[in-house]
Amino acid sequence: MTSDDGARWFLAQLKPNAARIAERNLLRQGFRTFLPLEDVTRRLQGRFVSTPRPLFPGYVFVAFDPLAGLWRTINATSGITRIVSFGGVPAPVPEAIVAGLMERCDATGRLLPPDVPSPGDPVRMASGPFAEFVGRVESLAPERRVWVLIELMGRQTRVAVGADQLRRA
C-alpha cells in the first residue's frame, strides 16, 4: 500500500524461526510490517492443537520508501536474511496483493476463515462455464468443492464447483 511518504511493500526473507524477532526489530526501527498467519491443526500428544503459522514461511512484508535507501538497514536487521531483490534492486510487491491479504486477515494478522455457503443457501456462479447462473447449495464436499443445483434446460442439474467460484446471491 503506497502512502504519502512513498512507502511501498517489499518482501524480506527471514532467518530460520526468526519471524517474531525480525518483526520486533523492524517495528523498533520504525518500519511497518505485515506477517499473515494461518491456523494449522496438528496432532500433539494424542490431541489436536491449532497453532498460528506464517502463511508464507520464511518471509515477512515490510513497508518502506525505496528512494530513501533504507533497504540496507533492513538487510542488516537481526532476524532478516535479505530483501527479495532482482538485479540488486529490491522488488516491490504489487499493492493489490498486499491489500487483498490484509482484507482477509484480522487486526492481529490471522487469516479469517473463508466465507463458505451452507447447504440450502442461494448462490451465484462467479466464473466458469456457468458464470452468472443462480442456484442452491446442495452439499459440501472435501477439498472446498461445493455441489450446486442449477436450473438448466428446464430441469435441476447438479454441478460441482470450487467454493472460490461462488458468491452469495
Condensed to tens digits (0 to 9), the pLDDT of residues 76-96 reads: 999 999 999 999 889 999 999
**Residue 1 pLDDT more than 50?**
no
Q: What is the pLDDT of residue 4?
A: 52
Q: What is the pLDDT of residue 2?
A: 44
Are residues 31 and 88 part of one domain? yes
Are residues 128 and 89 part of one domain? no
Domain that residue 44 falls in: 8-103
Q: What are the backbone angles phi and psi of residue 27, rounded to the nearest 5°? A: -65, -40
- Minimal CA–CA distance to 151: which of 122, 126, 128? 122
CA distances from 53 to 78, 110, 149, 163 (A): 20, 9, 37, 23
Mean pLDDT over the full length of the chain: 87
Are residues 93 and 153 part of one domain? no
Predicted confidence (pLDDT) per residue in 152-161, tens digit = 888 999 998 8
* Lowest mean per-residue pLDDT among 19-23, 64-68, 126-130: 126-130
The verdict on residue 113 lying in a domain is no
Q: What is the mean pLDDT of residues 95-115?
A: 87
CATH number for the domain spanning 127: value is 2.30.30.30
Are residues 25 and 87 part of one domain? yes
Predicted confidence (pLDDT) per residue in 6-59, tens digit = 789 999 999 999 999 999 999 999 999 999 998 887 788 888 777 889 999 999
Q: What is the pLDDT of residue 42?
A: 78
Beta bridge partners of 166: 125
Q: Which three cell numbers stand for residue 112?
A: 479469517
